[in-house]
Amino acid sequence: MSANETPTALAAFFTDGRLTSIPRKPARRTALLDHLAQSLFEPDRSYSEREVNEALLTVHTDTSMLRRYLIEAQLLTRTRDGSSYRRAGAPAGPDAQPPAA
């Protein structure tokens, strides 16, 4: 499923494949973020911050907000220096940040 093929429950947040609003309800926001993580990022690949931003730009202009939400939801992990990102569940490098408490 691509970011343009949104689940029916999330369709109200997209127009022409672009994210137009972020859900306020935590469950819907988590579902949206999970959809973005699964559709934009491969599980066994490392991404630079630039690559993450480019992927997020395909759905929304505020890449830093979406990147932060994905990290906080533990759907993306990043190294301590922020140089490498991975979709959660993928093998992380030795300097990956542990989940926030």
Tens digit of pLDDT for each residue in 3-52?
445 678 899 999 998 999 999 999 999 999 999 999 999 988 999 999 99
> Which of the four pLDDT bands, split at 50, 70 and 90, describes residue 99?
very low
> Which of the four pLDDT bands, split at 50, 70 and 90, describes residue 92?
very low
Share of the chain above pLDDT 70, in %: 82
Mean pLDDT of all residues belonging to the chain = 85
Q: What is the arithmetic mean of pLDDT over 58-79?
A: 96
Strands 14-15 and 18-19: antiparallel
Coil vs helix vs strand at 19: strand
Amino acid at 43: P
Q: What is the CB-side half-sphere exposure of residue 44 using CA atoms within 13 A?
A: 0
C-alpha–C-alpha distance, residues 43 and 90, integer Å? 5
